[in-house]
Amino acid sequence: MATRTRIRSALAGEGLGGEVTVKGWVRTSRVGKEVAFLALNDGSSLANLQVVAEPALPNYPEICAIGTGAAVAVRGTIVESPAAGQRYELRAAEVELLGPADEGYPLQKKRHTFEYLRTIAHLRPRSNTFGAVFRVRSALAQAVHRFFAERGFLYVHTPIITTNDCEGAGELFRVTTLDLGRPRLADGEVDFTDDFFGEAAGLTVSGQLEGELFAQAFSDIYTFGPTFRAENSNTPRHAAEFWMIEPEMAFADLRDDATLAEEFLRYLCRHVLDRCQEDLAFFNDHIDRGLVARIEGVAGSSFAMMEYGEAIERLQRATVTFEYPVEWGLDLQTEHERYLTEQVVGGPVFVVNYPREIKAFYMRQNDDGKTVAAMDLLVPKVGEIIGGSQREERYDLLVARMREVGIDPASLWWYLDTRRWGSTPHAGFGLGFERLIMYLTGMENIRDVIPFPRTPRHAEF
């Protein structure tokens, strides 16, 4: 058959009246008295192409027996559809069955629960919802690179295997070639000098520390890659493997950081509104009624900012009861974050200047001696979507803080070196890519916005 036309183009009426060849998977088949209809999808759009096959076709009986899920190639003519429901359809001149599918194909029904679809993660991309999710995910990944390219940020690939725990939360997955059955012990502990890297290594929780090194050479940089956290929390917002975008800017403070985060999020909102209309309309109709209005609102608004101290006061004054305690010095839980962004502000809000005790060692210490120049961006339905800060660029203060939290400064000598030579005020943040997709699709579980989710006890496919 001739060169292939993608269904998205065919549905737009490209090649109207002329002969085209399309290839895809059958979503439904309907055999009438005089004619057979196949709804064909090739992943290029949410909508299917209606293929009309008439009994004059030599293999008409075979066409009538084609099952849901089968792969076919169809040569035919794009014509205006006489029926309601679609503008154009494909009048078939030849239908070739490439890969049959029988009744065992699990996506027969129109609607399945997301829980069920997670058990068939190898097939769910062929459903409407997951087709839309992964098209939006791909569009957003490309928009991330475009945003930074337009602003002259250098894209740096930070390592996935690392020996540092950037966030200091002890959530590092170990990477080892030691014989786990018989590791050599030294003073009762595993001796990692025998291990592949000669010391204990793991999967990175964040590319930030290495990103900072590059910001001290290229001024503005970003990373975009997988990060890993052995966080044993089974929530709809946490995955053990997720993707993070981490920009870092030299000669920048917390204000600059918040400005970049705000412009970035608005840009991504506009991008999906412009480029993913069909999929967003689907999410708006089937998943989250207010989605498009909300994204439009965010794309055109400026974000609120609130001190951590004020956030605590607002939460203490709230009339709702929270599961977790609210007190100056305690971290905000998702329920608190959602209350602030949904009830207090009614849109995205930066909470800034958190108590130093609940934040990572690298954050810049404020003059009050109690808080650090941290910022979290909270958004409705998701809670924290971005975490960032201005970094402690003063050598002595950074070393002192490391000692306080029990990090041996010698273990991060290379990080400290940037504070010895040409240190600059600098700042950055991390945007959780899956949380972004949840926010822009209305999907409520992180397992449903990543192709093959990794969560406690789940890494099958």
Residues at the site binding Mg ion, with contacts judged by CB under 5 A: 387
**Which residue is nearest to Mg ion, using beta carbons?**
387
Tokens of 449: 């916005």
Sheet holding 201-203, edge to edge: 161-162, 201-203, 173-175
E-strand stretches of 380-424: 383-390
* Contacted entry of ligand 4AD, Mg ion, none for residue 24, CB cut-off 5 to 8 Å set by kind: none
Which residues are CB-neighbours of 273 under 8 A, at least 6 positions away? 280, 292, 295, 296, 299
Closest separation in Å from C-beta 339 to ligand 4AD:
17
Tell me the chain's radius of gyration from C-alpha atoms. 27
Residue with tokens 């490391």: 402
Closest separation in Å from C-beta 261 to Mg ion:
13
Cα 8 to its chain centre, rounded Å, is 24
The smaller minimum CB distance to ligand 4AD, of residues 128 and 365, is found at: 365
> Which residues within the stretch 227-246 sit at the binding site for ligand 4AD (CB under 6 A)?
229, 231, 238-239, 242, 244, 246
Closest separation in Å from C-beta 436 to ligand 4AD:
8
Neighbours of 185 (CB within 10 A): 9
* Contacted entry of Mg ion, ligand 4AD, none for residue 50, CB cut-off 5 to 8 Å set by kind: none
Task: Name the residue type at position 350.
Answer: F
339 binds ligand 4AD (CB under 6 A): no
Among 36, 203, 305, 386, binds ligand 4AD (CB under 6 A): 386
Closest separation in Å from C-beta 459 to Mg ion:
24
Gap between the Cα atoms of 64 and 267, Å rounded: 47
The smaller minimum CB distance to ligand 4AD, of residues 76 and 383, is found at: 383
Gap between the Cα atoms of 449 and 442, Å rounded: 10
The smaller minimum CB distance to Mg ion, of residues 202 and 387, is found at: 387
Closest separation in Å from C-beta 145 to ligand 4AD:
17
> Which residues within the stretch 183-222 sit at the binding site for ligand 4AD (CB under 6 A)?
206, 208
Tokens of 82: 């006489």
Contact track, ligand 4AD, 145-184, x by CB under 6 A? ---------------------xx-----------------
Tokens of 424: 């600059």
438 binds ligand 4AD (CB under 6 A): no
Are the CB atoms for 449 and 133 separated by under 8 Å? yes
Among 202, 388, 425, 453, binds ligand 4AD (CB under 6 A): 388
The smaller minimum CB distance to Mg ion, of residues 247 and 387, is found at: 387
Neighbours of 309 (CB within 10 A): 17
The smaller minimum CB distance to ligand 4AD, of residues 7 and 377, is found at: 377
435 binds ligand 4AD (CB under 6 A): yes
Gap between the Cα atoms of 48 and 25, Å rounded: 10
Decide: residue 99, CB within 10 A, 0-12 exposed, 13-18 middle, 19+ buried: exposed
Q: At what angle do helices 277-286 and 291-299 cross, to 10 degrees?
A: 130
Closest separation in Å from C-beta 49 to ligand 4AD:
36
> Which residues bind to ligand 4AD, rule: CB under 6 A?
166-167, 206, 208, 229, 231, 238-239, 242, 244, 246, 384-389, 428-430, 432, 434-435, 446
